[in-house]
Each structure stands twice: as C-alpha cells, then as structure tokens.
Amino acid sequence: MPSAESRLRITDESGVTQVGFIDRNILDEANIQQIGEELAEIIDADDSPKLCISFANVDHLSSAALGTLITISNKIKAKNGQLRLAQIDPQIYEVFVITKLNKLFEIHDTTEDAIKSFG
C-alpha cells in the first residue's frame, strides 16, 4: 500500500471499480506519480479489471496526468480489462480533443452511462 495519503476515492460496485480524484488540480508531478501507482495496484489486483474514472470536480489536468492515464489504459488492455472515463469538464475535454486522446479513451458524460457501457 502507498505510504502517502491516497489521492483517489475508490469504490467497488457490481464488479466495476469507480475512481474519483481528491485533487481539483492534477498538476503536481509527485501526486500524478502516486495516482499512477495507486491505479496500477488496483489493476494488478484484478484478473480482468473494469475501471471507471470520474473527473467530477477536476479543474486542471496536465499532460503528465494524460500520460499516466495512457499508461493505465495500456495496463488494462494488457489484462483484457476495460476502462471508461466520465464527467469530464468541457474545458478539460478540449484538452483530450487537442491531443486526440478523445479517440483513444471511451468517454461518457456521466458515471451512470459509463458503468452501463461495460460489457
């Protein structure tokens, strides 16, 4: 387990791990690294992980945070798992569009929609 205080809110429901962020600004590289490590632990603990990451209340997101999401996505794919992103603020969604990562990730308006989409 990470020794530092968790940067994530994690709940498990109907086989889907729902993840939210404690921080409104995901900019601090040390925090981003910790987030990546915490998510990796979740993925490692599941044979076929289903992860729904909510960006509710997130105001700012750096390219380093996007990089961590990609690493997480690759880990989940490697385990034949599924990843959904949800509740992304329009300004942050634009960051996904600029980087074309809106094509890489499956993004839903609401967490409910995201959870329904899991196969």
Partner 1 sequence: MAAPSTDINDQAPNRRRLPNERPALEEAATTIVSEAEEMGYPQASCFALRLAIEEAMSNAFRHGHRDLEPDADIELAWDVSPDRITIVVEDQGPGFDPETLPDPTAIENIEKPSGRGLLLIRAYMSSIDFNASGNRVTMVYLHPDKSGD
Interaction site with partner 1 (CB under 8 A): 27-30, 60, 62-64, 66-68, 70-71, 73-74, 91, 95, 98-101, 103-104
Taking the complex as a whole, the smallest distance from the CB of residue 13 to partner 1 amounts, in Å, to 29
* Closest distance to partner 1 from the beta carbon of 48 (Å): 20
Toward partner 1, which CB reaches closer, 56 or 116?
56
Tokens 């999401």, residue located:
69
CB of 100 to partner 1, least distance (A): 4
| 63-69, Cβ contacts within 8 angstroms, sequence gap of 24 or more | 63/99, 64/27, 64/29, 64/32, 65/26, 65/27, 65/32, 65/35, 66/95, 66/96, 66/99, 66/101, 68/32, 68/33, 68/35, 68/36, 68/39, 69/101, 69/105
The residue among 43 and 60 lying less far from partner 1, judged by its C-beta, is 60
**Cβ closest to partner 1, residue 11 vs residue 33:** 33
Question: Minimum distance from CB of 4 to partner 1 (Å)?
Answer: 13
Distance between CA atoms of residues 31 and 7, nearest Å? 7
